[in-house]
Amino acid sequence: MNSTELKRRTMDFAVSIIKMADLLPNKQVGWTISNQIIRSSTSVAANYRAVCRAKSDKDFVYKMSIVIEEADETMFWIELIKNIGVVKNTELLNTLQLEANELVAIFTSSAKTVKSRLNRIKF
């Protein structure tokens, strides 16, 4: 998967999370979770774009670590939503959870590849 495809995929993920957030209850728990999950999922997309502009391998690894962290946080919020049952569409939540897991795996693999290249360069 190339960077253009991942840019689209992370944007689609953020859009899907925003749409799912509309299903959260219009009360304190919904507002809190909505704010947090929208921030973390849009951060995945925005920070992945920054990864694509990394100036070096070290910069790439640093920026990718932020993307991984935000994607993992988004996974947390999806799990919380599932556990407290505030969104009844479990199929949607399962799909979002699967996508978040796949994105974390892709980003982690990419970071490991670049880290191993950095480790080989050391004298």
* 122 pLDDT tier (thresholds 50, 70, 90): low
Q: Encode pLDDT of 36-81 as tens digits.
A: 999 999 999 999 999 999 999 999 999 999 999 999 999 999 999 9
Domain with residues 3-117, CATH architecture: Up-down Bundle (1.20)
pTM for the structure as a whole: 0.92
Residue 68: what residue type? I
Domain ranges of the chain: 3-117
Nearest in space to 18 (alpha carbons), one of 43, 46, 41? 41
